[in-house]
Amino acid sequence: MMLPVEVNTREGELIFQSNAITDGVYKITLDEFRLLNLAISKISRHDKPEKRIRITTKEFVEVFNIKDKNVKNRLSAIADGLLGKTIDTYSFDQDSGKKTKRRRLWLSEVEYDIEGEENVFLEIVFSTEISDLLFQLKDNFTLFALRAISAFTSPHSFRIYAWLCKYRNMYNYRKGELITTDTISVYDFKVMLGLEKSYEEYKFLKQKVIERSINEINASTDISVVLNEYKASRKVIAISFSFVREDHPTLQSIKPKRRRLPARPRVKSGSNAEVEWAKKCIEIILEYENALKLYDKEARLPLPDLEKLVGYYELCGEDKKISERNCELKERKSKRK
């Protein structure tokens, strides 16, 4: 049973996709996830499937907080990669009753701005095969906010978060405010994420994929999630996730959010004014880190905030702090590989 869904937002705020995509099997990069989700967020509920979707370098950089001087070529390379990528979706054949797999291309066309150097754009067109899973959806869809996923640094965080969101409005999976997903075998979970040939040992899958994604989801989205494990002969063979929605009125004020950082003043590099600005930014990020720890002792700063913190310490010349935080940054990034 589905709970009613209220939607009162502008284009670019929400992502609607069929549950077939949410449950589908595909493997794409972090940047490809970013481009896809930004494009999907631009689809209004009454748009026609042939809509051309324009994405600019400016909005790509701003939404995902990307620092790249060559973002024009980066965006073009992302689109090039997506042109050949596919997604497998599953259904049952009406005549035979057998389960079938359907493979579809994500995109049918990309048009590039080849003359501009500032705020360059590209336009993409979703393939006709995938359009029925993105356009004019009436039911069986997954809905989530673009801003909720903008801080993710792992492609698996995108997949797991979307899969969780599928259950948000399903009454049968709810017990009070707690929502628990279907149980999925470890193998099927790996297949869904395109990892069927990786992480032969569950402990590495848990450490490098599941726990990292849970940390990102808990730190930057509107839900708090925990992992459930199911064992046979001491071996984990299946998992599920339980979570609470933090947009619920009783939870809305609990999970900490970072205050907006002040804009950099237009002053000379290395000046006292720049140092004072950096100190204010450090204060805000450390305040946020402390609040996260109080909320969840296992919580850590999102990597983008940790990288910012290192940069601010560099402006202030705090060598000891730079060394400490760089070690933390190196250790956390090594776990992503």
Six-digit token string for 199: 């992480």
Across the strands, what pairs with 238? 185, 230
State if pTM tops 0.75. Answer: no
Structural domain including 235 reads 154-255
Does 135 share its domain with 41? yes
Model confidence pLDDT, tens digit, residues 41-83: 999 878 999 999 999 999 999 999 888 888 889 999 999 999 9
Domain tally, the chain: 3
Does 286 share its domain with 239? no
Q: What is the pLDDT of residue 298?
A: 75
Q: What is the pLDDT of residue 238?
A: 98
**Domain boundary pick from 104, 132, 150:** 150
**Domain boundary pick from 150, 184, 199:** 150
Does 230 share its domain with 158? yes
What CATH code is carried by the domain that includes residue 136?
1.10.10.10
pLDDT at 12 over 70: no
pLDDT at 2 over 70: no
Model confidence pLDDT, tens digit, residues 295-317: 677 778 888 889 999 999 999 99
Does 108 share its domain with 81? yes
pLDDT at 255 over 80: no
pLDDT at 142 over 50: yes
Does 131 share its domain with 243? no
Q: What is the pLDDT of residue 253?
A: 46
Residue 47 lies in a domain: yes
Model confidence pLDDT, tens digit, residues 175-220: 888 999 999 999 999 999 999 999 999 999 999 999 999 999 988 8
